[in-house]
Structure 1
Amino acid sequence: MRRTFSRSGGFSVLALVAAVPLLMATPAAAQTAQSPLPYDAERGVFTFANGLEQALPAVVQVTTLGSSSGPRSGDAEPRPMASGSGAIIDAAQGIVVTNNHVVEGGQKFTVDLTDGRIFEATLIGADKATDLAVLKFDATGLSQIEVVSSDTLRTGDLAFAVGYPLGLDQTLTMGVISGLGRSGMGDRIEDYIQTDAAVNSGNSGGPLLDSRGRLIGINTSILSGGGGGNDGIAFAVPSRIMNYVVAQLRETGEVKRGVTGAIFGSLNAERSRDFNIGIVRGAVVEDVAPGSSSERAGLRRGDIVTRIQNRPVSNAGTVQATIGIAAPGAELALVYLRDGHEGRATLQVQERTEQVVAAGSEVVLARGVTVHLNEGDLQVSSVEGGSAAAAAGIRAGDVVEAVDGGRVTSLTAFARAMDRRGQRVVSVRRGGESVRITLP
C-alpha cells in the first residue's frame, strides 16, 4: 500500500494511529528527538496545541443585529438575529472574514474576542456568490491567522474547524480533508473543501485550519441527513477563492466578475457514455455565445474541458469557480477533449456588459438563467451563482411557460421576451405547480 504524507508537514490519521504504539514504547527523550508527531515531552502527550493555539485568539464570534420579525414592543433598537464565527486575517486593520449568510440583512454587527472584549464592527462588503463577507473593527492587541494556499491540500490531510457552535464558547474539532473541488450544492460559485471535522450551526464563517494552525478555508455549510446536525460532511470556501474575494471587497466593497460567453455543464457517467469517452470528470461546453471570447478561443459545443490554469477539472463548478475569481482581462489556459483528441486554448475573461441576453444555437442565457429545449419544453438547465435569477428563486429543472403573461414556446421567443430593460415576470412550472418569479 502506498504511503502518503502531507506536503505541509502534517501526517495522515492512519500514519498517526500506526505510529502511536511504537512511540509509546520509546523513552520520552528519544520521542522528542525522533517523533514524527507533535509531542509534548513535559506532559508526555501527543498534541497539536502548539501550532493551533497561535490561531485561536484570532477566531471571533460574530453577532448580527436587526429588526425583529415578530410583534414589536416599541423598542426600535436592533436585536440579535443571527450568530456565527469569523477569522481575523489582518490584525492591524481589524479585518474579519465571515459568511455572507451570517451578516445578511443585518443593521449592526458585533465581534466578541476570546479575551472577553466585544466591539461593534462595520460591514465592508459581502459576496453572495461565494458566501463571504468582510467586517472591520477598531481594537488593539489583536491576533491574526496566517493564511496559506489551499491549492497545496491533499485528501487525507488533517483539518481543524474552529468556531462557536450551538451556543457554546469557542470550540475546536478535528478531522481530515475528505475531498476537494466539491460543487453542486446550490447556485453559487463552488469549489469547496470537504471535511469530516464536526461543523454545526454557529460554526459558519469560522476558519478551517491545517495541522499547523494556518487558515486553509472558511466553513460555510454542512450536508445533513435531515436533523440539521453534523453528519460528518462539511464544506469550506478554499483560501484561494477567499483571498480574491476579500481583496476586492476591501478595495471596492463589491466583487466584479468577468464572463467568457461559454455555458458549461458537468460531465458524469451517463454523459461520458454518450460521448464514448473513458473519463467521468470534466466540464462539457453546452454552448458558446456568438462573438464571445470563448468563440474566439475556438471552443465548440461538446468540447470537454479537463484542465484549467493547470488544475484538473472535476466538473462545471471547477471551471465556473476559476472564471468567477478571474479579473476581466485575465487569460485562462484550458485543456479540452474534442472527438477523442486533446486541444489547448487560451480563454480571455471579458468585462461583464449590460447585455441582458446571450443566445447560442441551442441555449439562451438571460439574467443568469440558462434555458434549453427539452422535448419541446423550455427547461432551465443551470442558474448562475449571484445572479438576479438565483436571488429571485429560479431553479434548475424549472420549465419556463410565459414571460410577462405572454407564452413562450421557442428559444427565440424567450430571448426576445427577456431582452428588454426593467422587471420581467417569469412563469415556470415546477413539480406540477405554476410559480411566478419577478426578475429585477
Structure 2
Amino acid sequence: MGLMTGRRTGRKRSSYRSGMTAATLEGIPAIIMFQLLGGPFVTGYLLYLGASSLQVGIVLAVPSLANMLQIAGALLIQRFTNRKLLFSVLCGTHRVLWLVAGIVPMLLPKPSGVPVYIAVCILAFMGQAIGSVFWTSLIADMVPAKVRGRYFGIRNTILWAGGCIAILAFGQLLDRLPEPDGFRLLYAVAAVCAALDIVLFLRYPNPPFEKSEQSGSLAMLAGPLRHRPFLKAMLFISLWLFLQGLAVPFFTYVMLNVMHASYNLVAIATMTQNVAMMAGYFIWGNLNAKYGSKTLLFWTLPVIAAACAGWGLLPVAPDNAVLLLVHLLIGIGVGGFNQLMFNFVVGDTPKSERPAFIAVFYAITGLAGFAGPLLGGAAYRFALGLPNWVQLFGVSLGVGAALFAVAGLIGTNVLLDSGKKARRSGGGTAGWRKQA
C-alpha cells in the first residue's frame, strides 16, 4: 500500500500517487459490476432466459470480438488526445448499455430476450473496446515503470477482494430468492456500482499525450507487426487464448447445466478462484519486479493447463474437491496470465507507439479469444448427443492436454527465448524503437 499512500516527497511523485489511488478507487465498483454482470452469474441468467450453450458461448466471446475495435481506438487517440474525456464517455456508455442489455430482456417474452441481450451487449462492448485504448495508454503513463508490476499486483488484489464479497453474497441470495427477483436485485446493485464508477472516472488525472512518431496511420499500425519478438509473442498468446477459450469460459456452464450445482456452490467455487487470483496477483506482481513479464507469463501456462485437465479427476475424486481444485488453479493461472500479459504490452513498448502496440495486440488476441468460446459453445452443443462424461469432463480434459503440449512445444521457444533474468523497469523500449 505504500505505493499509493506513502509520504509525498515531490510534485511529480505526488501526481503519480494521486493517479494510482484514483485508479484503485474507481476499480472497486467496476470489478463488482463486472463480477455481477459478467462473472459466473451471467451464465445462470442466460440459462434462465432460455439460452443454448452456443448462445452462452457467443455472449462470453463478445468482449474478445469487440477488442478488434481497439484498432479504431489507436487511430482516434492520435486525433482526440484528451484521454480522460474519451475513456470516461466510452467506458461510461459501456456501463449503461451493459445494464440495459440485462434489464430489457426481463420485460420481454423469454424467446426474444436472449437475442436482445446479445445485440445490446455487442454495442456496449464496442464502446468498452475503444475506450480501453485511452484508459490503458493513460494508466501506463500514470504508473511509473519501476513500480508497475507491484502496483498492479496490489491494485488487483484489492479489487478482487471486492469481487469476492459480491460473488459470495449473491451466490447466497440467488439460491434463496426466486430467479426473477434475484436477478432484479443483482441488476439494481450493478446499477449503483455503474453510477459510482462513472463518477470516479472524474478523479483520474489527465497528463499530456505523446503522439506517434510514425508518418501515417498504416505505418503506425504496421510497427508492431514488423517487430519479430512482439509478433511471435502475440501469435502464441492468440493460440493459447483460442485453446483456453474452448473450455475455461464453460466451467460455470458445466456446473449449472450438467452437474446441476446450486448457485451457492458456484459462488464458493468462484470465490475460491478469486481468492487464488488475489494471492496470485500479489505474488506474480512481486516476482515481476525481478523477472521479465514474458518469462513469468510462461510459468502461468502449466497452471492453466492443469486446471483444465483437473476436470478429469471427477470419476475418481469427490465432486466438490475437484471443483475447488480446478478453480484454485485457474485463479492462480489466469490471474497471473492476464496481469503479466498486460504488463508485457504496456511495459515493453515505446511510449509514443504504445497505443498502436496495444490496439494491434488486443485486436489479434481478441479475434482468437472470440473464436475459442464460440467453437467451445458449438462443441458443448454437439456433445448433447454424446455420453454425459464428454460434457462433464471430456472437453476440458482434452483442452488441458492440448494446452500442455502447446506450452511445452511452442511456449518454451517464444516466451523463454532470452533465458535470463530481467528487471521490470520498462527499459526495453529502446530495443522496440530500434527494431520497429
Q: Taking structure 2 as the reference length, what is the TM-score of the superposition?
A: 0.24
Q: Taking structure 1 as the reference length, what is the TM-score of the superposition?
A: 0.24
Whichever of the two has the greater Rg, that structure is 1
Return the structure number with greater strand share.
Answer: 1
Higher relative contact order structure (alpha carbons within 8 Å, sequence separation ≥ 6): 2
